[in-house]
Amino acid sequence: MTQQNQSRYHRQELLAGIGPDGQARLRASHALVVGCGALGCAVVDILARAGIGRLTIVDRDIVERTNLQRQTLYSERDAANGTPKAIAAQRRVAEINPEVICRGEVDHVGPESVLSYARDTDVILDGLDNLHTRFLLNDVAVSLGKPYFYGGVVATRGMSMPVLRDEACLRCLFPDSSMQTGETCDTVGVLMSAVLAVSAHQATQAIKWIVGAHAAIDRSLWSMDAWTNRTTRVSLTNARDANCPCCAARNFEFLAGMHDDQAAILCGRNAVQIAPRRTGTNATMALDLRRAAVTLRAHGTFIERDGLLVGTFTSVRTNDDSAVELTLFPDGRAIVKGTTDEVFARSVYDRFVSGL
């Protein structure tokens, strides 16, 4: 076989743990990546280059210039245009590996939507920056018996663990908000190399699952600090909690929407997302962004771009006299930028968006 006609995956197929059979399994598999910030970008890149057959990427946010330090799928053009991350990631995957069927969804993953994304997937990977949605993914993974690969990074520290059928889940180790330190990339920063270390661990465990090397999966809560050179593992072998509300009692509180929160401060964005809970007849209704633009232009400068309505208000300012920007999505979600005050963001939403 000449260099020219060798498989794209030739060096990967040489690995004893993968081989041609494992590569075929990758090609036949579908991965769901929820959140396409720093972790999600790296995970998507690894899986796309590895030859995953299908990728679904779900993210609620748009690309900003401060993302470019660590979010490897995006460009200056994406940041300048405020392109939705899911769309920019889909375009980049097509350039990395056109053999991958990739679908980018600009959406907030909540109790009403997560099942539709998770049912048809083989693995679920975490690219998130908030505890609430991680517990939601944990719920849906346990309820469907799907493998879920958790990862999280802040500053120079990160951790990762697998959630597998009939084994310890995320809430066995972190039953409540004790997992949340209060630190975010907005307050303490984030080191790209720490992101890459954690995402590599996540993606590698997912690849092991897909190719059938289940015994090789790292069944531990793996953590590291790239700055202090510390690495630790807490074994998950006997970590399953007989009183866990999720995997033991099968009480899927987050999936049921019992902890659903409409407002969320976006890490590193000086912004708040307002995601109205949508049920019943309004669950699938879409806003008419063209009509919304006409209404909002009476209060500022707004344009339609990449399926979104974006603009800046002239009729409202924050308490420190900063400009207030709005990004409005067809599903009724909005990002109010210029504040981290959830009450203020809700008031902007209620005043300008609720009646559209």
Tell me the average pLDDT across 36-56: 98
Secondary structure of residue 220 in the 3-state scheme = strand
Active site residues: 185
Q: Is the pLDDT of residue 334 over 90?
A: yes
pLDDT averaged over every residue in the chain:
91
Q: How confident is the model at residue 129 (pLDDT cuts 50, 70, 90)?
A: confident
Which residue in 153, 223, 148 sits closest to 184, CA to CA? 153
Q: Is the pLDDT of residue 1 over 50?
A: no
Q: How much of the chain exceeds pLDDT 70, in percent? A: 93
Number of residues that make up the chain? 356
Domain ranges of the chain: 10-235, 263-352
Which residue in 228, 229, 157 sits closest to 198, CA to CA? 157
pLDDT of amino acid 182: 59
Domain 10-235 has what CATH class? alpha beta
Q: How far apart are CA 300 and CA 227, in angstroms?
A: 45
Q: How far apart are CA 165 and CA 219, in angstroms?
A: 12
Q: Please tell me the least confidently modeled range out of 59-63, 125-129, 209-213, 226-230.
A: 59-63
Domain 263-352 has what CATH class? alpha beta
Q: Do the domains spanning 10-235 and 263-352 agree at the CATH topology level?
A: no
pLDDT in tens, 143-154: 999 999 999 999
The pTM for the full model equals 0.84
Tell me the average pLDDT across 302-316: 93
Which residue in 93, 146, 152 sits closest to 124, CA to CA? 146
pLDDT in tens, 259-306: 765 788 887 789 999 987 655 444 556 889 999 999 999 999 999 998
Q: What is the pairing mode between strands 323-328 and 334-337?
A: antiparallel
Q: How much of the chain exceeds pLDDT 90, in percent? A: 74
pLDDT of amino acid 89: 98
